[in-house]
Amino acid sequence: MKTTIVLFSLTFWNILALAQQPFVANMDENKVGNFTLPNPLQKPDGSIIKNKKDWEKHRGYWLAQFQQTMYGKMPNKKLKQSSQLVSQTEILGGKAIQYIWTITFEGKHSVSVLGVLPNKSAKVPVFLGLNFCGNQTTSTDNRIPIFEKFVVCNEASQFKNNLGQAESRGAQASRWQFEKLIDAGYGSITVACGDFEEDLPTGYQNGIRTTLADQLGLKAEEWSGIGAWAWGLICMVDFLETIPQVDAKKIILHGHSRLGKAALWAAANDQRFAAIISNESGEGGAALTRRNYGENLWRITNSFPHWFLDSYKNYAYKENTLPFDQHILLSLLAPRPLYVASAMGDQWSDPRGEFLGAQQTEAVYQLYRKPGLGTVAFPGLNTPVGKQVRYHIREGKHDMTLYDWEQYINFARELVK
């Protein structure tokens, strides 16, 4: 009964939002219009930052702008974590070991962590990312428990009433490429985003914004779903620092779509991530908000109000009055390696806006003498460009594919030392 009520509420809410939609999304580059981006190096008094020391002092100003306007506050308290190794199994013909851990915060909220690490004694770098639909969707291994919380993943018979079924095992394994990573010498760590907060407007009620509110010292409305997922990723670094098989100084953070937004926000708030990958994170992620193309601020805040602060929706159709744009969020990741990727069949995420968001980080990366995208033109298909900041647009739809992973592995090999 509870699930039925939740589903009805979510469906009704989305239908109502779409019924009120006053526009048809612009998908014509000629109708984007003109806009002026805020300068990440300009202080409120108008002076310009000219060195990395001053930039690092100024980072807090930009973080506060995003916290106050868009994603909400981030907890500044470290919570007590306890972990339990649930299982440890050789897989992939002995090349890897599959781990399942349970992590509990303050004895009140638990999450299940899946790790696939090379079967060797040396510490290894790892790719870390949240998954949408439960750990069981990343692999066909039947020893991985079926995720029992709400998911937005109703593909055919694999999910029923937004709950995973046995058929969901391996449903999104192509997005994880565990064996490819193992063969390249990397491990992979993942947690279902719904273990921190379920992806629906009422998800905060059973998520960390409620269960750990007293311990974190924040009210649910002071932050957001994206904030909760980002906080979870930061906590995973705390956990991985305790795992002897993991080189915690070489954690490569990645995220696809809405979880790419969360990855960017996590990395902006925590410098311990060695490199960051945004895979088609779109509006509210790597794409410039001021561009009138594809999904826009009105649509995203009406369709997914729980991702952001309530106040963020007040900037709909007034995007030019925002105190920032997403290139500044990306700039907060400097000088670390950053990869932004798009897909030609995913125009909703505004590939050109994602490219421009990455390109506009150049001034900040130059403070560290790190080459970004430079003045390169928007590239052709399947042609990665850049150095410390990289970009590609590939063929295909909104997804995370083998082609993407091949580029990310090369990126990590070259830049994460």
| Mean pLDDT computed over every residue of the chain | 94
Q: What is the pLDDT of residue 155?
A: 74
pLDDT of residue 23: 58
Q: Is the pLDDT of residue 20 over 70?
A: no
| pLDDT average, residue stretch 29-35 | 95
CATH number of the domain encompassing residue 257: 3.40.50.1820
Question: Distance between CA atoms of 260 and 276, rounded to whole angstroms?
Answer: 9
Catalytic-residue membership of 257: yes
Tell me the per-residue pLDDT of 269-285, one tens digit each, with 9 for 90 and over.
Answer: 999 999 999 999 999 99
Asked whether residue 158 is assigned to any structural domain, the reply reads: no
pLDDT value at 15 more than 50: no
On whether residue 165 sits in a domain, the answer given is no
The single residue of 112, 224, 257, 331 carrying the catalytic annotation is 257
Task: Please give the tally of structural domains in the chain.
Answer: 1
In this structure, are residues 114 and 190 in contact, taking their beta carbons and an 8 Å threshold?
yes
Please give the pLDDT value at position 4.
Answer: 34
Per-residue model confidence (pLDDT) at position 389: 98
| pTM, two decimal places | 0.94
pLDDT tens digits for range 130-180: 999 999 999 999 999 999 999 998 777 899 999 999 999 999 999 999 999
381 token code pair: 């298909």
Its domain, for residue 191, covers 2-141+172-415
Q: Is residue 150 part of a domain?
A: no
pLDDT at residue number 7: 38
pLDDT of res. 9: 39
Answer yes or no: is 148 within a domain: no
- Is residue 167 one of the residues assigned to a domain? no
The residue assigned the tokens 């192509």 is 174
* pLDDT tens digits for range 104-113: 999 999 999 9
Q: What is the pLDDT of residue 154?
A: 76
256 a catalytic residue: no
Considering the domain boundaries, does residue 147 fall inside one?
no
Q: Are strands 187-192 and 124-131 parallel, antiparallel or unpaired?
A: parallel
Look at residue 182 and tell me if it is in a domain: yes
Compute the average pLDDT of residues 377-405: 98
* Structure confidence by residue, pLDDT tens digits, 342-353: 999 999 999 999
Q: What pLDDT, on the 0 to 100 scale, is given for residue 37?
A: 98
pLDDT digits (tens, 9 = 90+) for 216-240: 999 999 999 999 999 999 999 999 9
Q: How confident is the model at residue 378 (pLDDT cuts 50, 70, 90)?
A: very high
Contact predicate 156/164, CB 8 Å: no
Within a domain: 53: yes
Identify the pLDDT of residue 1.
33
Q: Is the pLDDT of residue 11 over 50?
A: no
Which pLDDT value is given to residue 156?
Answer: 73
CA distance 350 to 228: 25
pLDDT (mean) for 398-407:
98
Task: State yes or no: pLDDT of 91 exceeds 90.
Answer: yes
Question: Is pLDDT above 60 for 21?
Answer: no
- pLDDT given for residue 198 in this prediction: 98
Percent of the chain with pLDDT over 70: 94
* pLDDT value, residue 3: 35
Look at residue 12 in the predicted model and tell me its pLDDT.
43
